[in-house]
């Protein structure tokens, strides 16, 4: 006796209760579309770096020593307990220094090299796209960098080597010894504030020049062909709004995520794609028509 037919879930009930066609899973159709795509917007989140061993923000990776990572990423948390927040970030700085870009990062670098009209918006602060040599003119780091520091009172911003020097009193602390507030360096400019991570926390504005530049790119001609959304829960604004922004400019959206599609989140439609799996594996495969099979991790 033949087994009952597998139900066809090609339609899912949307958050509003209407039946909606499901996004495509076809790599072949995506490859066809990508081959003719000239302007592409890519949004990357913590899931891209998961295969490099770095924890994500929400879900299983979102708990750090019993603290919710989201709660620690606020100016209020730093005001309350700067030593705790710095302990969290120092651990992440050390982990990011030890991590290596994966095949997903490298594939996106190659995509940018092969497609002048490709812009990447990264929410990641881990430095892995930079280390993969993503062209600086084709990527914006919306949430700053783990390797920068700012003052919590004035406008001081120190980058890379300067930040590293300023942070030496913290970096020389043995990772296992508890950090005291007295260990945190004061701002070398105003001498009043404390140095803090050079990242954008909840309720803080993204640098306005960066926002203007992204807006101008989205509104420029010709239309956007493809919006690739990789390894993000798409819960944080303004990053998430760029998906809709690209769609309004004509883009078909392709999402890559290890979890099953959540129809309420991305609002994917019939002309879009959803690929479930590890970004480090899937992104190079999806980009093959443009980058070939070359992208490999050293």
Q: Is 281 helix (H, G, I), strand (E, B) or coil?
A: helix
User: Shortest approach of ligand BJW to residue 62 CB, angstroms?
Assistant: 6
The residue (of 39 and 226) whose beta carbon lies closer to ligand BJW is 226
Q: How far apart, in Å, are the Cα atoms of 261 and each of 12, 50, 233, 276?
A: 10, 18, 10, 8
Question: Rounded to 5 degrees, what are φ and ψ at 59?
Answer: 70, -150
Nearer to ligand BJW, 39 or 124 (CB): 124
Question: Of 33, 105, 143, 215, which one is the catalytic site residue?
Answer: 143
Helix axes 279-286, 103-114, angle to 10 degrees: 30
By CB under 6 A, tell whether 259 contacts ligand BJW: yes
Among 73, 120, 129, 226, the residue binding ligand BJW under the rule CB under 6 A is: 73
- Least distance in Å: CB of 197 to ligand BJW? 7
- Shortest spacing between CB 202 and ligand BJW, in angstroms: 4
Cα 175 from Cα 182, distance rounded (Å)? 16
Give CA–CA dist 57/64, Å, rounded. 9
Identify the three-state secondary structure at position 138. Answer: helix
Q: How many residues touch ligand BJW (CB under 6 A)?
A: 34
Among the listed residues 42, 43, 51, 103, the single contact to ligand BJW using CB under 6 A: 51
Q: What mask of x and - would describe binding to ligand BJW in positions 143 to 182, judged by CB under 6 A?
A: x---------------------------------------
Which residue number, 12 or 64, has a Cβ lying nearer to ligand BJW?
A: 64
User: Which one of 22-30, 42-50, 153-161, 243-251 is the stretch in contact with ligand BJW (CB under 6 A)?
Assistant: 42-50
| Distance, CA of 280 to CA of 49 (rounded, Å) | 8
- Strand 40-44 and strand 19-21: pairing? unpaired
| 194-233 footprint of ligand BJW as x/- string (CB under 6 A) | -----xxxxxxx-------------------------xxx
In the complex, least distance from residue 146 CB atom to ligand BJW, rounded to whole angstroms: 8
Q: What is the DSSP letter of 223?
A: -
Residue (39 or 42) nearer to ligand BJW, CB:
42
Q: At what angle do helices 241-248 and 208-219 cross, to 10 degrees?
A: 30
Stretch near ligand BJW under the rule CB under 6 A, chosen from 27-35, 130-138, 161-169, 236-244: 236-244
CA nearest neighbour of 275 among 103, 29, 14, 13:
29
By the rule CB under 6 A, 45 interacts with ligand BJW: yes
Whether 143 is catalytic is yes
Q: Which is nearer to ligand BJW, 86 or 217 (CB)?
A: 86
Q: Determine which helix (DSSP H) or strand (DSSP E) holds 255, and give its type and residue range.
A: strand 252-257
Q: Indicate the residue whose CB is closest to ligand BJW.
A: 47
How distant is the alpha carbon of residue 155 from its chain centre? 25
**CB-CB contact of 42 with 251 (8 Å):** no
CA distances from 174 to 83, 88, 92, 258 (A): 14, 14, 14, 35
Q: Which residues are catalytic?
A: 143
Using CB under 6 A as the criterion, which residues of the chain lie in contact with ligand BJW when the complex forms?
45-47, 50-51, 56-59, 62, 73, 123, 125, 143, 199-205, 231-233, 235-238, 256-259, 278-279
Residue ranges at the known binding site for Zn(2+): 151, 154, 187, 190
């Amino acid at each position: 006796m033949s087994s009952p037919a597998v139900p066809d879930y090609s339609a899912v009930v949307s958050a509003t209760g209407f039946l909606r066609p499901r996004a495509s899973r076809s790599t072949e159709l995506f490859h066809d579309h990508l081959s003719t795509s000239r302007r592409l917007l890519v949004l990357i989140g913590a899931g891209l770096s998961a295969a490099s061993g770095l924890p994500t923000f929400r879900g299983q990776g979102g708990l750090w020593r019993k603290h919710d990572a989201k709660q620690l990423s606020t100016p209020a948390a730093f005001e309350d307990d700067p030593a705790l927040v710095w302990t969290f970030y120092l651990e992440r700085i050390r982990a990011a220094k030890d991590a290596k870009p994966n095949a997903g990062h490298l594939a996106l670098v190659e995509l940018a090299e092969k497609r002048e009209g490709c812009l990447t918006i990264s929410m990641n602060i881990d430095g892995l796209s930079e280390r993969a040599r993503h062209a600086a003119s084709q990527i914006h780091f919306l949430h700053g960098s783990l390797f920068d520091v700012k003052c919590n009172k004035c406008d001081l911003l120190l980058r890379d080597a300067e930040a590293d020097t300023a942070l030496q009193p913290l970096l020389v602390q043995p990772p296992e010894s508890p950090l005291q507030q007295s260990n945190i360096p004061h701002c070398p400019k105003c001498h009043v504030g404390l140095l803090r991570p050079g990242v954008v926390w909840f309720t803080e504005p993204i640098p306005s020049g960066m926002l203007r530049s992204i807006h101008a790119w989205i509104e420029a001609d010709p239309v956007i062909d493809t919006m690739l959304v990789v390894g993000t829960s798409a819960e944080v604004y303004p990053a998430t709004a760029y998906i809709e922004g690209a769609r309004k400019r004509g883009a078909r959206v392709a999402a890559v995520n290890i979890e099953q599609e959540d129809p309420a989140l991305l609002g994917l439609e019939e002309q879009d794609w959803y690929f479930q799996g590890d970004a480090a594996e899937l992104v190079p495969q999806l980009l093959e028509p443009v980058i070939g099979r070359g992208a490999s991790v050293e």
